[in-house]
Structure 1
Amino acid sequence: MSNFQLGLIIAGAVVLIIVIAHNAWNSHRNAPKRAQPPEGPASVMGEGGLRQEPGFDAQHLPAGQTDGFEGQRRDPADGLDLPAHPPERRGGLDALIDAIAPIACEQPVAGEAALAALPPTRRAGSKPFAIEGLNQTTRAWEMPQAGQRYRQFQAGVQLANRSGALNEIEFSEFVMKTQQFADALSAAVDFPDMLHEVARARELDQFASEHDAQLTFVLRARQAAWSTGYVQQHAARQGLVAGPIPGRMVLPASSAGLPPLLTLDYDPQAAMSDEPEQTALYEITLSLDVAQVARSEQPFARLRELAKGLCETMDGMLCDQNGTPLPAMAMDPIATDLEQLYTQLDARDLSAGSALARRLFG
């Protein structure tokens, strides 16, 4: 073999090695980014590869919207920016968003009898329905409880929610369920006028439709895709925890029992994969349900901070729902509009994050 032939063989081998190395480098560069191993002995890996600290059970944190009649009755102290908030109690029909029918009993009724007479469901059509009793000892309205006695009750059906306004059929179902409860206790009911309540429901629904805001932004990968573990790890560093369904993480509220401040969503199929580090995610979404979160929590400012942090650490780009990139200045008008919305909700006694707002916009 001549020196010339040998040189050609060597040159060809060098070119082949370069091509193989280049392809391997490109494959590594474009492979989904993976989570880094946990640092130190103090961290443990939770479900789906999410880092958790010992003694911190993310599944018991608030992770979604509440419905029904959760929260307290309106109080003059509502809306104060206190440093800490006690968990809210259940119960509290309110004439602002409920059609209410008083129920008068001839004799005190045991809580056990009231519980036995309650209808099997707590909805009239698509609207929450509830019956409360006036505790003879504490003089407080509450859901009937065993061991207590009641002389008065009241039944209520919500006038509107995100399913729409209370209609005549739903009102009739409310009347039927309430009358059955009253008959079981030999009590008398004073129903409000149906046409009046349906008209109130439509007006409230119109207000709610004009003041409902659910903001969603998309965070897209600039180059390499992300694995689910990579997303979970970086989101956890920003304070998010595992949510109630696969593919969801949440930023918890400052008080237990309240809806999360923000939610982060990604492909649920990828979240349930047997090999999460082999999945490839090209986008995630960040959402804020405005009416569900108190103004004092500054959720939009926290959303901007969260989005900025994730964009920087994950090499992502913030976009609107149509995929159009959003510069930082585009968020300022949204913040201004939200402040006006908060003020309008306050003026209607439906402050964002209040029990009534969470029910109306639920």
Structure 2
Amino acid sequence: MGPLQEALAVVGVVIIAAVLGFNGWQSWQLRRRRARVERDDRVERGEPGGGETFAVTAPQDRVEPGLDDEAQASGADAPPEPTAEAARPRATAPRIDPLIDAIACFVFEQPVPGEALQQRLPRTARAGTKPLLFEGRNAHSGVWESLQPGERYAELQAAVQMASRSGALNAIEYSEFVTKCHALGEALGVAPDLPDMAEVLEQARELDGFAAGNDAQLSINLQAQGVAWGLDFLRQQAQGCGFTTHLAAGRMALVESYAEDAEGQGEPRRYAVVQLQFDAHAELADDPAMPVARATLLLDVPQVAPGLRPFARMREAARQLAQALGARQVDDNGAPLSPAALDQIELQLQQLYASLEARGLGAGTPAAQRLFA
């Protein structure tokens, strides 16, 4: 490593240390302010003082003007305060999931209107490459949900995803999340309850390692024998095999709805069970006779519920389409794919499904779809 590279490395370390130090100092200052106000309040009420407590509510004089005004304008009586048992431990929200998210919490003294919270959220819901999610615990139903105008919330969660196919959450991304949480806390008059950075980054690295070892995208290639197919002919045959949904240029999908539970109850979800990919430039050329010599059937394993039998569906679609097109089924290197080879892949696929399920990240679940995106 040359002198310039060493200097740049030292500068990078100093910047990261400064960011972490500032965030820690900011969090410490918020906690000190809140503890001081709480002690003063206890003295005024004649109650015994205590040590510093970590922020869950904010003193009244720190609430930004407008929150209480909006609550009073609703004309609704405030619901009773939730008990500690009801608030902790927090139930898994429909979107935020502690299996893949680091979660910060804001607890309000009085329920806050959803529109007031929406107005104070960060402009960009990302920290580096990682998405941020925000949900509130409905003061009436007690259910965690996406923030809705007209509803009031006793608690707010902010979450940053700890890993994705782009890699694990890093220190700079987590520091950006912390900074946005502190800014949101200042706007709401509530100090955030944040998870420890070292623990979050360790969880992120472990989750990323698990995801890397349990990710799979399976493909079957169809290779023209002799004369290439016309683009229009390829699309017609694909539609006949169930690929009726166009995702983008050169991409079609076999889409199906599926109810998650065994009784088939609840809201069914739609899955792109198998995708068909071919030359996007041919489709963009808008020439129905444009020759295409190769097409690929793709199964993104963690994205599709195993109850849809996606690999079996892909094998059958490949067989039908190969017969209709007069094509050979080959692997990525152009070698023929035999039924015995596909049978072996299916056995390995069952092991992968079991590993994902054991982690609580079954293929096709919302958390798995976010992790493997």
The one of 327, 336, 339 aligned to 2:338: 327
Q: Distance in 1 between matches of 2:361 and 2:245?
A: 29
1:231: which partner in 2? Answer: 234
Q: Distance in 1 between matches of 2:220 and 2:164?
A: 24
2:26: which partner in 1? Answer: none
The structure whose residues are more often helix, as a share, is 2
2:305: which partner in 1? Answer: 294
More deviation, 246-255/292-301: 246-255
Q: Distance in 1 between matches of 2:287 and 2:241?
A: 24
2:195: which partner in 1? Answer: 192
Whether the 8 Å CA contact 2:134–2:159 is kept in 1: the answer is yes
Unaligned runs of 5+ in 1: 1-72, 76-89
Deviations 1:110-166 (A, max 9, x none): 111101001112211111111111111121111211111112111111110101011
Kindly state the Cα deviation for residue 306 of structure 1 after the two structures are TM-superposed: 0.6
2:73: which partner in 1? Answer: none
Unaligned runs of 5+ in 2: 1-89, 259-267
1:24: which partner in 2? Answer: none
Q: Which structure's CA Rg is the greater one?
A: 1
Off by >4 Å, runs of 4+ in structure 1: none
1:21: which partner in 2? Answer: none
More deviation, 250-259/167-176: 250-259
1:245: which partner in 2? Answer: 248
Whether the 8 Å CA contact 2:135–2:156 is kept in 1: the answer is yes
What amino acid is aligned across from residue 372 of structure 2 in structure 1?
F
Residues 135 and 243 of structure 1, relative CA distance in 2, 3 Å threshold: same
Where 1:188 maps in the other structure, the secondary structure is: coil
Q: Distance in 1 between matches of 2:286 and 2:140?
A: 56
Q: Distance in 1 between matches of 2:91 and 2:94?
A: 11
Q: Distance in 1 between matches of 2:149 and 2:169?
A: 31
Deviations 1:211-233 (A, max 9, x none): 00011221001122101111111
Q: Distance in 2 between matches of 1:284 and 1:93?
A: 37
Kindly state the Cα deviation for residue 327 of structure 1 after the two structures are TM-superposed: 1.6
2:86: which partner in 1? Answer: none
Whether the 8 Å CA contact 2:162–2:168 is kept in 1: the answer is yes
Q: TM-score, normalised by structure 1?
A: 0.73
What amino acid is aligned across from residue 285 of structure 1 in structure 2?
T
The one of 80, 103, 113 aligned to 1:110: 113
What amino acid is aligned across from residue 357 of structure 2 in structure 1?
D
The one of 235, 257, 260 aligned to 2:272: 260
Q: Distance in 1 between matches of 2:104 and 2:285?
A: 51
| Count of residue pairs the alignment pairs up | 275
More deviation, 102-111/347-356: 102-111
Identity of aligned residues (%): 45
1:32: which partner in 2? Answer: none
More deviation, 212-221/256-265: 256-265
Kindly state the Cα deviation for residue 242 of structure 1 after the two structures are TM-superposed: 3.4
Whether the 8 Å CA contact 1:105–1:188 is kept in 2: the answer is no
What amino acid is aligned across from residue 282 of structure 1 in structure 2?
A
The one of 123, 135, 144 aligned to 2:126: 123
2:170: which partner in 1? Answer: 167
Whether the 8 Å CA contact 2:95–2:366 is kept in 1: the answer is no
1:201: which partner in 2? Answer: 204
More deviation, 310-319/178-187: 178-187
The one of 211, 216, 223 aligned to 1:213: 216
What amino acid is aligned across from residue 111 of structure 2 in structure 1?
P
Taking only aligned residues, the RMSD between alpha carbons, in angstroms, comes to 1.6
Q: TM-score, normalised by structure 2?
A: 0.71
1:100: which partner in 2? Answer: 103
Whether the 8 Å CA contact 1:106–1:187 is kept in 2: the answer is no
What amino acid is aligned across from residue 178 of structure 2 in structure 1?
V
What amino acid is aligned across from residue 317 of structure 2 in structure 1?
L
What amino acid is aligned across from residue 313 of structure 1 in structure 2?
A
More deviation, 246-255/166-175: 246-255
Deviations 1:322-353 (A, max 9, x none): 11111222111100000010011111111001
1:271: which partner in 2? Answer: 283
What amino acid is aligned across from residue 184 of structure 2 in structure 1?
F
Kindly state the Cα deviation for residue 244 of structure 1 after the two structures are TM-superposed: 2.1
1:343: which partner in 2? Answer: 354
Whether the 8 Å CA contact 2:106–2:191 is kept in 1: the answer is yes
Where 2:174 maps in the other structure, the secondary structure is: helix
Kindly state the Cα deviation for residue 74 of structure 1 after the two structures are TM-superposed: 9.0
Where 1:189 maps in the other structure, the secondary structure is: coil
Whether the 8 Å CA contact 2:221–2:331 is kept in 1: the answer is yes
Whether the 8 Å CA contact 1:92–1:141 is kept in 2: the answer is no
Where 1:276 maps in the other structure, the secondary structure is: coil
Kindly state the Cα deviation for residue 257 of structure 1 after the two structures are TM-superposed: 5.0
